[in-house]
Amino acid sequence: MQHPSEVEHAKNTVRLLQLALPQTQIYVGETAEDFAELQGYLAAQTRPVFIVYPNDHSKAASEVEADNKAIIVLIDGTWRKAYRMLQLNPWLLNYPSLHLECDDESQYVIRKAKRSDSLSTLEAAAYTLASLEPGADITPIFAVFNAMVHHKLTAMPAAVRQRYNSDKLKG
């Protein structure tokens, strides 16, 4: 579920996620009416559906037993926009919520975040996949992501680039 303001954003990680995982489906909108097609699709599924969004009732993705047929719904937008999308789509509460327990900091160094646990949607997808399916190879997802981050950093003027903590990219 992608907020409309993210669609044309130059740092759109959902677009990259779709390149790495072609089965990714993107639904753009904000309100329940915008997501009517997605709501119908999910309601018709016999596979488990999980919403990746931390809350008081969410379970750690690593603690959930789900096979590789599970459907993972991510909400793409700033924390504020994602929260608003969740509020405007109460039907999402019909599905169990997952949260991630990541020890690693986000590698999304080209975008500032107020929260230390902020991940890009691509990172959240990769870590969720790795938690639900421990044998999954998420390196192609991060290869695309890291290439984009490196490209954006090298395109910045040196004075601007210094504002970003590029030492996170080591490794």
Residue by residue, DSSP assigns 152-168 as HHHHS-HHHHTTS-GGG
**Structure pTM?**
0.79
Q: What is the mean pLDDT of the chain?
A: 82
Report the amino acid identity of residue 35.
F
* Percent of the chain whose predicted confidence (pLDDT) is above 90: 32
What's residue 11's pLDDT? 67
What's residue 167's pLDDT? 45
Tell which residue, 141, 123, 145, 133, has the closest CA to residue 61.
133
- As a whole number, mean pLDDT of residues 35-51 equals 95
For the chain, percent helix, then strand, then coil, each to nearest 5? 45, 10, 45
Helices (H), the chain: 13-20, 36-43, 79-88, 121-132, 139-155, 158-161
- As a whole number, mean pLDDT of residues 55-62 equals 84
Question: Euclidean distance between the first and final Cα of the chain, in Å?
Answer: 31
Q: Which range scores top for mean pLDDT: 87-91, 147-151, 155-159?
A: 87-91
What's residue 163's pLDDT? 67
In sequence order, the 6+-apart residues with CB closer than 8 A to the CB of 76 are: 1, 2, 3, 6, 13, 14, 82, 121
